[in-house]
Every structure is written in C-alpha cells, then in structure tokens.
Amino acid sequence: MPKARLPKIPDAVVPPPLRKPGKPGSGGTPKGQAPEDLKTAPERQTAGDKLLEVGKEAPIDALGWVDQRLAASGFLTGMLYRKVPKGTNWFYTLGSATLFAFIVQAVTGVFLAMFYVPSATQAYASIAHINNEVPFGQLVHGMHKWGASVMVILIFLHMGRTFFFGAYKYPRELNWVIGVVLLILTMTMAFTGYLLPFDQRSFWASIVGININGTGPVMGPYLSDFLRAGPELGATTLARFYAIHMLLVPGAIIALIGAHMYLVVKLGTTAPPWIKAERPKVAAPVSQLDAGANGSGRVNGSGG
Ligand code: HEM
C-alpha cells in the first residue's frame, strides 16, 4: 500500500530552537541559524566536521525540544531576571543560604538512610559502621550533623533579617506565618534527629526535651506522651522519631518552602527600611505626588 504523504509543516509555525541570537548588525544569517554555524562552508565540511556541529548543537536542541513542550523558559526568565529593590544587600542571601542548607541536609540524609538502621539494638552500631567503614561515611555523617546546626543558625538569621527589615508587613504576612511554621518544623527536625544515633547523650537529651515539651500548657502532656510513644523512652520512641524525621517533617518542609518561594517571587522582596521612595522625575501636581508616596516616604515593595 503506498504511504500517504504528510503535508510539509510551514517554517513559520516551527519555533526555532533556543539559540544565542546573532549580534545586532551581523546580518545575512539564515533564519534560526547562529553565525558560528557558517564558519565552515557546507561544501568544505567533512563528515567529522558535520558530526562535531551536530554534537555541539545537541544540548541546545535537546533543551529547545523540552522547552517547546514545557514552555518553562518564560517562567524561568521571569523568576531569574526579576527586579530587586534598590538597597538589596548581602543580608538578602540568608534565605537562599537556609534553602541551600536544607538541600544539603536532604541529600546527605538520603545517603545516611542507606546504611542507618532505626532499631534500638542496631542504631548505634549502624552509625559506628557509617563512620568507620562506609567510604566517605564519616564525611557525609559529619556534614549532616553539623549542617543541622548551620541550618538552625541560618534560619534564625534569616528570620531576624525579615523582622528588622519589616518584611512581615502587608502584603507579606502570610509568608511570615509560613516562615514561622518552617521554623517550628526545622526545630522538630533537629530535635528528632538528635535521638537517632541512640547513644547515651542522645538518649538523655531526648528525655530532657520530651519533658520540656510536657510542661507546655494544655497540649504539653499530650505532646510529650505522643513523642515518647510509650511509658518510657525506648524502641517505640526511636521508631516514632525516625518516621517524623524521615517522612513527615521533610515532606511538609518541601511543600512549605515551595509556597514560601512562590510568594517571594510573586510579591518581590522588601526594600531596606532606610531606602526612601524616589519622587517621579516627570512634573506632576503636588497633590498627586503626595498620594503616591502615601505620606510615609517609605518604599515597602518590589521594583528597582
Ligand atoms: C526552611 C526555611 C526557610 C527558607 C528556605 C526560606 C527562604 C527564603 C528565601 C530564599 C527568601 C527570599 C530571599 C530573602 O529575603 O532572603 C525568603 C524571604 C522571606 N522569608 Fe524565608 N525562608 C525560610 C524560613 C523563614 C522564616 C523562619 C521566616 C520568618 C518567621 C521567613 C520569612 C520570610 C519573609 C517574610 C520573606 C520575605 C522577605 C522580603 O520580602 O524581603 N522565612 N525566604
């Protein structure tokens, strides 16, 4: 049976792959082709040259293929090239540093989970095995252990930055509330992780921590009973702490970081409190200028 001929798709409807645009004025470059493509005239190209050209273009073509289907480049460009307010400084990196610390914890935690045994009789030995026998085990365990403290310090510094810069005010109250939940969850991670080596220090420190929780009003006794998971701290406590540390809290943190980042991108970041609003350069009636500056002379929104 003769094959049905497919109609040719007009060039105009095929989007060009993601390519570095030619320099203005370079002219004469065929549509969708970067000037570099013309360095070797096609008639003088050997098979090797052609293969090299295809190889060089492959990653860009692959990216273009994915982008045509996801349409993600618009979103990524908007997010990565968004304007930040005047006066943005190093203190604004503390949120990203906290995010980085969390990612390090997640990655090192996955590798530790491959060797850790959450059992009252084997937990301590499995940690000793990670430290003494597993290749890079001591490094990964050390990164996770010290990384926990780093994340706690960074989250407090980041919260301090947002507090002192007034970033909790309208319209960012919800992001502040999400941040408070993230802080509680981060502290829960640090607390539940501390018991996991199941050595003398973690055992007694967890008893102290659980008892402190028990002193809370109304919910305190229920909370400490829930955490202990039995009349005494033991195997059931370890299993419960492990489930909270490994599954429950990381899942919640990931979801909340997603919401937190969405709001940061959507609302933009706050200008430092010492940055004053600029008067528009164009002449405008004084009454209008006063309304625009809202009387406070403060900038508390995104934009350059
Ligand atoms: C896992 C924990 C957290 C991560 C990964 C995180 C990440 C970030 C990042 C990357 C930003 C944008 C850049 C910056 O301003 O630093 C940001 C902004 C913000 N964060 Fe967090 N954050 C966390 C916890 C918190 C906490 C504990 C609070 C407060 C209780 C908080 C409140 C805010 C607020 C209000 C903003 C907006 C800042 C502005 O408009 O200038 N975040 N966060």
Q: Per residue in 11-30, pLDDT tens?
A: 655 565 555 555 666 555 55
194 alpha carbon – ligand 1 mean position (Å): 25
173 alpha carbon – ligand 1 mean position (Å): 11
41 alpha carbon – ligand 1 mean position (Å): 54
Question: Which atom from ligand 1 is nearest to the alpha carbon of 253?
Answer: 1
The pLDDT score that the predictor gives to residue 300 is 47
Atom 39 (ligand 1): residue with closest C-alpha?
269
162 alpha carbon – ligand 1 mean position (Å): 7
Has residue 8 got a pLDDT over 60? yes
The pLDDT score that the predictor gives to residue 25 is 60
Residue 176 and residue 164 in contact, taking contact as beta carbons nearer than 8 Å: no
Q: Is 117 in the pocket of ligand 1 (CB under 6 A)?
A: no
In the chain, % of residues over pLDDT 90: 68
194/13 Cα distance (integer angstroms): 59
Q: Is 264 in the pocket of ligand 1 (CB under 6 A)?
A: yes
Q: Where are the alpha helices (DSSP H) in 196-300?
A: 200-214, 220-228, 235-243, 249-267, 286-293
The pLDDT score that the predictor gives to residue 46 is 83
Average per-residue pLDDT for the chain: 87
Instruction: For a ligand 1 pocket test, name from 264, 266, 299 the mutation site with the most ligand atoms within 8 angstroms of its C-beta.
Output: 264
Q: Is 175 in the pocket of ligand 1 (CB under 6 A)?
A: yes
CA-to-CA dists, residue 237 to 54, 126, 207, 211, 243, angstroms: 59, 18, 10, 13, 10
Question: Which atom from ligand 1 is nearest to the alpha carbon of 256?
Answer: 1
For residue 247, give the 3-state DSSP assignment: helix
16/234 Cα distance (integer angstroms): 63
* pTM to 2 decimal places: 0.78
Query: Helix 123-132 vs helix 137-164: angle between axes, to the nearest 10 degrees?
Result: 100
HSE, side-chain direction, 13 A CA sphere, residue 222: 3
CA-to-CA dists, residue 154 to 8, 100, 159, angstroms: 58, 10, 8
Residue 125 and residue 140 in contact, taking contact as beta carbons nearer than 8 Å: no
Has residue 33 got a pLDDT over 70? no
225 alpha carbon – ligand 1 mean position (Å): 33
pLDDT digits (tens, 9 = 90+) for 141-179: 999 999 999 999 999 999 999 999 999 999 999 999 999
First vs last C-alpha separation in the chain: 65
124/112 Cα distance (integer angstroms): 13
Q: Is 168 in the pocket of ligand 1 (CB under 6 A)?
A: yes
Indicate the pLDDT class of residue 298, thresholds 50, 70 and 90: very low
46/274 Cα distance (integer angstroms): 64
301/86 Cα distance (integer angstroms): 10
Residues 30, 31, 37, 41, Cα dihedral to 10°: -20
Say whether the peptide bond before residue 171 is cis (omega within 30 degrees of 0). yes
